[in-house]
Amino acid sequence: MSKNDTTLPKYQLVKDYVLSQIENNELGKDDRIPSESEFSKLLDVSSITVRKALAELVNEGVIYRIRGKGSFVANPAESVNQTSNYVTFIISGNDMYDSSYMKIIKGVQSFLNQQGCKLIIEFVENDVEQERELILKLIQSENRGLLIYSANPDAAREYLNEIRKKSIPFVMLDRFPAGYPVNCITCNNHDGAYEAVAYLIAQGHRKIGFAAYDFHLSTEVERYNGYRHAMADASLGPDDDVLFLQRELDYAKLLRQIQRGELTALFCVNDRRALEVIGQLTQQGVSIPEQISIMGFDDVESSKYAKVSLSTVNQPFEMLGYEGAKLLFESSKDMSGGSKKILLSTELVIRESIRSNVEP
């Protein structure tokens, strides 16, 4: 093909050059292809054009990249013109049938259906090691991209580096590793928590505790910061004695604080923790919300049907899945771009678990 052929987009010239070299057996499996600068001189195109062409060839499985070494031909018999039609969603969580996971999956499927793509769901039981083994296996297979809901994103850095070496597009959902640039979509956890705690304060609460669940997660840290900032802006503590940051909540201590009037409200980092607290305290004879108000975060389906319906912060899980899949496709088209984090808005949902007009 003549390099002066202007009937095609310039990036297509680069793609066609690589494909013709493979088809004519001038390039074979694992052979290195020219670098960006070499292509620029060879075909008289810009480095941006070359980058776009190579990103598409990676996405189509024709070539693969090794950081610091260059781009290489994948298996021609399997890869040439074989664009993967699958996206894999890896969920490392507590319960495959959790309503929030189901809503995220629905959102992902909604976007993929528009693209004519299929979804593969892989679930592991909140186990980082199994999560890592699964990811390392998946990146050896044909995949258009990965959506990752990790049990512990900070521990996932090792396998995230391996995904990058393979130039496979990926997006992390809900949570991400601190200080590590990744494409991620999550909710505005800080502001959602701030609004929830500000509402409790507006109802007269001053002695407000915080209960975590998995405090190593970025989402929980952000919600804690929202709680802390709302308290500080109202010139309130918080007192370290009302912070419950361990997975095993000290119910004996919590009960004493409620009975002594040292705590009138508890902001729980998620609905799982909040519903557990409601169950445990009502068994101990504590009246909710008369003795203590409970606020959650997530708005899972069961929060409406608790012994005392739970006031909480709604996350748009279906939108999170949809926008996550959309971001995956956008990033696969521009592999040279930087990482992007998208925040979705939350909404306060008030039900029966909050007492109003509390005496200061």
Cα distances (Å, whole numbers) of residue 237 to 67, 210, 227, 241, 243: 48, 12, 11, 10, 11
Question: Which range (11-15, 80-84, 349-353) has the least confidence?
Answer: 80-84
Question: Which range (4-13, 126-135, 169-178, 305-314) has the least confidence?
Answer: 4-13
Residue corresponding to tokens 């169950």: 279
Query: pLDDT tens digits, residue range 223-267?
Result: 999 999 999 999 998 789 999 999 999 999 999 999 999 999 999
Phi, psi (rounded to 5 degrees) for 208:
-115, 120
At 306, list the tokens.
Answer: 């608790």
At 98, list the tokens.
Answer: 């959790």
pLDDT at 83: 46
Closest CA to 11 of 43, 35, 58, 33: 43
Pairing of β 312-314 and β 347-349: antiparallel
pLDDT at 75: 67
Query: Could you tell me the pTM of the whole model?
Result: 0.75
H runs (alpha helix) in 83-127 = 99-114
Closest CA to 156 of 188, 191, 124: 124
Pairing of β 70-73 and β 63-66: antiparallel
Q: For residues 273 and 239, is the Cβ–Cβ distance under 8 A?
A: no
Beta strands in 177-287 (DSSP E): 184-187, 208-211, 243-244, 265-268
Instruction: Read off the pLDDT of each residue in 57-86 and give the average, rounded to a whole number.
Output: 70
Distance CA 277, CA 274 (A): 5
Distance CA 174, CA 171 (A): 10
pLDDT at 8: 57
At 346, list the tokens.
Answer: 């939350």
Phi, psi (rounded to 5 degrees) for 87:
-120, 135
Q: Which is more confident, 240 or 268?
A: 268
Phi, psi (rounded to 5 degrees) for 303:
-65, -25
Distance CA 238, CA 225 (A): 11
pLDDT at 96: 73
Q: pLDDT-based confidence at 296, cuts 50/70/90?
A: very high
Distance CA 88, CA 138 (A): 8
Query: pLDDT tens digits, residue range 278-294?
Result: 999 999 999 999 999 99
Residue 87 amino acid letter: V
Beta bridge partners of 210: 243, 267
Query: pLDDT tens digits, residue range 89-102?
Result: 999 987 777 889 99
pLDDT at 334: 65
Closest CA to 193 of 154, 150, 229, 236: 229
Query: pLDDT tens digits, residue range 195-211?
Result: 999 999 999 999 999 99
Mean per-residue pLDDT of the chain? 88
At 118, list the tokens.
Answer: 């299929």
Q: pLDDT-based confidence at 11, cuts 50/70/90?
A: confident
